[in-house]
Structure 1
Amino acid sequence: MIPGTLPRPAGRPRARRAARIPLALTTVAALLSLDLPEAGALPPPGVTVRADADTTAARVGALFAGGTDGGHFCTASVVRSTGRDLIATAAHCLDHPDSTVFAPGYRDGEAPYGLWRLTGVYTAPGWAVGGDPDADIAFARVVPADGAETGAVEDVVGGFPVAARQPRDVTVTVVGYPSTEDAPLRCTNGTSLFSATQRRIDCPALSGGTSGSPWLVDGALAGVLGGHEGGGTVPEVSYSAVLGGAALELYREAA
């Protein structure tokens, strides 16, 4: 889905990509290995329900413009990184990173794990130059918005490993925040390839604000809601750019 509509500061430049940070292969392997969150009862396939307040939901949060008073417009999730400070979302959600804050586990007007501001954004060249829907994934570093030394976000809520190159019909769980809801929704269903570079899922009620929602395969990030049509123009059908080699390289750069 496209992000929810919120007033935005005018004239903000897009954040530049941070410098490449090389990783040893052993470090990359550790970041990609599974560390599964607790498994709760899943709804039937293709049914969207309110997500339980479990470990999975704690790692997913809403993106706000400035603070929680203004309403949320997109979704993001914490992923594993060496700095333990990385989130993943749709690239089209980060047009104004300087004013964006992340609230993991946001529920019923409360941010139980605090607010986190963005300090650096990683987007692929295809998105930065031409807004390529096949590159509609981004990573961002975060720190406590209030400046408190409370540790890294992954230390607080944990983080999802990343699992690229999934089969065409893999079953995923989407967890995200419609802009009209104050708690995340959850839906599990099989997927199909809309094209060689775009994956599709049928799940109702994933409306505006769910852009950037993680697509989880056995507790690992396999995509984010976005890509074709900004993630979809109707709440019943959503898309994600296929998480392939280019996205994996972007993740390695960020992580």
Structure 2
Amino acid sequence: MRRHRTAAGILMTVSALLTGGLVGTTTAQAAPSGTSPAPQAEVRTVPLAEQRTSRTFWTAERMRSATPLDLHLTPQAARSLKVPETSGSTPTVVPATAPTAFPQAGGPWTGDGAVVSTSGRVFFTFQGRTASCSGNAVTSQNASTVITAGHCVKYQGSWHTNWVFVPAYDNGNAPYGQWTATRTLTTPQWEASEDINHDVAAAVVAPLNGRKLTSVVGAQGIQFNGGYNKRMYAFGFPAASPYDGSKLIYCSGNSSKDFLFSQDHSLACNMTGGSSGGPWFTGFDETTGTGLQVSVNSFGYTFLPNRMFGPYFGDVAKALYDKAQAS
């Protein structure tokens, strides 16, 4: 996605292990959300009529032409970054970019393994326009849960419609089919003020041809309260130049905690618009293509080019996941 000098923006894209992934709940470090119980997630139940429309809406041509939205954070969202009063101004925030991988900063994933089928593109209608993000299928009780970014399900006060997940998207082709959302969920903090620290969302998708999502594509494990400063792999389908959304892109490297304005993870990366919502993994095995998901592609600062940020999966993200997987 493009970076702007005076406006804030957010990215959009998707990603997802083999069946039998495990949920990690290590408490290596306290979550930034504190010790009080996390509030319940905000939910949109997708009307049956819309679900039926979504199943036929996304033609190959519509998917190819979907725009990686160049979104702008609201003033409330910018204030949620808690900029020091002495700074004199609010930082410009832009859509996340992909991590600077070793040996390359944002390159095609040429390996095999579960990540090829568990990750994918997310498509939806936003304010009358077709748009895209990324997402990832995770292990869950309902075998139907996709994790993505908050702005990939709701933005500027409006829930996105015609929401589908296309695992292993391949230049207009959907080798594992298009999975229609029955519910989309986001954190209360994103719902209330688009707080970038909680830019996380989930979708529960309907069965396809009588089978549930993770029985078809597999599922990655997920971890909460796992701490900072980890080796990370980030995946997504960036669709803004120099990328075109046709390939799964990844970055890898050592992450750190944002020392400026948010509580997010930070990773060197140059992914562009459309990669938002793509998964960040710790403990990733390049041979099997599996790991534990601990964040999603979320945003970047204009004054820190080639660096991406993703929300910390603490108690709030866990409450969101728990509500989604119980749906």
TM range (shorter): 0.7 to 0.9
Q: Which residue is equivalent to 1:63? A: 122
- What letter matches 2:266 in structure 1? R
What is the alpha-carbon distance in structure 1 between the residues aligned to residue 104 and residue 292 of structure 2? 19
SS of 1:249's equivalent? helix
SS of 1:162's equivalent? strand
Q: Conserved in 2, the CA contact under 8 Å of 1:62 and 1:72? A: no
Q: Which residue is equivalent to 1:183? A: 247
Instruction: Report the CA distance between 1:117 and its aligned residue.
Output: 1.1
What is the alpha-carbon distance in structure 1 between the residues aligned to residue 107 and residue 237 of structure 2? 11
Q: Which has the larger radius of gyration?
A: 2
What is the alpha-carbon distance in structure 2 between the residues aligned to residue 213 and residue 4 of structure 1? 8
What is the alpha-carbon distance in structure 2 between the residues aligned to residue 61 and residue 112 of structure 1? 11
Sort the Cα spacing of 1:200 and 1:108 in 2 relative to 1 into closer, same or farther, 3 A. same
Q: Deviations over 1:3-39 (max 9, x none)?
A: 359xxxxxxxxx95169xxxxxxxxxxxxxxxxxxxx
Instruction: Report the CA distance between 1:75 and its aligned residue.
Output: 0.3
Please tell me whether residue 89 in structure 1 is matched to residue 159 in structure 2: no
Q: Conserved in 1, the CA contact under 8 Å of 2:106 and 2:269? A: yes
Equivalent of residue 133 in structure 1, options 168, 191, 196: 196
What is the alpha-carbon distance in structure 1 between the residues aligned to residue 301 and residue 160 of structure 2? 23
Q: TM-score, normalised by structure 1?
A: 0.75
Q: Which residue is equivalent to 1:17? A: 43
Aligned length: 213
Instruction: Report the CA distance between 1:116 and its aligned residue.
Output: 0.8
Instruction: Report the CA distance between 1:78 and its aligned residue.
Output: 0.3
What is the alpha-carbon distance in structure 2 between the residues aligned to residue 217 and residue 60 of structure 1? 15
Instruction: Report the CA distance between 1:166 and its aligned residue.
Output: 2.6
What is the alpha-carbon distance in structure 2 between the residues aligned to residue 91 and residue 4 of structure 1? 10
Q: Which residue is equivalent to 1:163? A: 223
Q: Which residue is equivalent to 1:3? A: 11
Q: Which residue is equivalent to 1:74? A: 133
Please tell me whether residue 154 in structure 1 is matched to residue 224 in structure 2: no
Please tell me whether residue 207 in structure 1 is matched to residue 284 in structure 2: no
Instruction: Report the CA distance between 1:235 and its aligned residue.
Output: 6.3
Q: Which residue is equivalent to 1:217? A: 282
- What letter matches 1:74 in structure 2? C
Q: Larger RCO: Structure 1 or Structure 2 (Cα < 8 Å, ≥ 6 residues apart)? A: 2
SS of 2:121's equivalent? strand
Q: Which moved more, 1:84-93 or 1:48-57?
A: 48-57
Sort the Cα spacing of 1:49 and 1:71 in 2 relative to 1 into closer, same or farther, 3 A. farther
What is the alpha-carbon distance in structure 1 between the residues aligned to residue 314 and residue 213 of structure 2? 26
Q: TM-score, normalised by structure 2?
A: 0.60
Instruction: Report the CA distance between 1:134 and its aligned residue.
Output: 1.2
SS of 2:170's equivalent? coil
Sort the Cα spacing of 1:130 and 1:223 in 2 relative to 1 into closer, same or farther, 3 A. same
- What letter matches 1:111 in structure 2? A
- What letter matches 2:106 in structure 1? T
| Unaligned stretches of 5+ residues in structure 1 | 6-14, 20-42
